[in-house]
Amino acid sequence: MAIQFTTTAQDGTLFVKASGYDEDLAEVQQYGLALIAECQKQGVTRLLCDERELEYRLNTIDTYDAAAVIAEHVPRVCRVAIVCHPKMLQDALDWETFAVNRGLIVRVFSDLDEARNWLHINL
């Protein structure tokens, strides 16, 4: 099952619930760009992605490329918190490093409450 997701905007934050798995680089880029477009449409500056039910399957090079493309399109005023399943944490941390090195304000967590706190406390 490819990436499936729903979004809800509330109080300046776009909440995303994603599941399935990433089939390839193009799909991950499409997912990321769709979330950016929804943030812009909703006028929000914070993005909270609950990806605990999403399996990451990209290799390291594709992960690097996905981060580069997405970071290029995210407004610098947007903060992104991604919550992943603990077994996906290392892949998510690699993506975080690649994205942060390109100027994206992003953190990866395995705990939803920690992600919420980071988004709202450290503004």
- Number of domains observed in the structure of the chain: 1
Are 92 and 107 in contact by the 8 Å Cβ rule? The answer is no
Q: Please give the span between the terminal C-alpha atoms of the chain, in angstroms, as a whole number.
A: 35
Tokens 């449409």 map to which residue? Answer: 41
Q: What is the residue type of 100? A: V
Each residue's pLDDT, cut to its tens digit, for the chain (123 residues) gives 699 999 999 999 999 999 999 889 999 999 999 999 999 999 999 999 999 999 999 998 999 899 888 888 877 668 999 999 999 999 999 999 999 998 899 999 999 999 999 998 544
Instruction: Look up the pTM and report it.
Output: 0.91
Q: Write the CATH number for 113.
A: 3.30.750.24
What SS3 class is residue 14? Answer: strand
Token pair for residue 57? 């399957």
DSSP 87: G
The residue segments making up the domain with residue 32 are 4-121
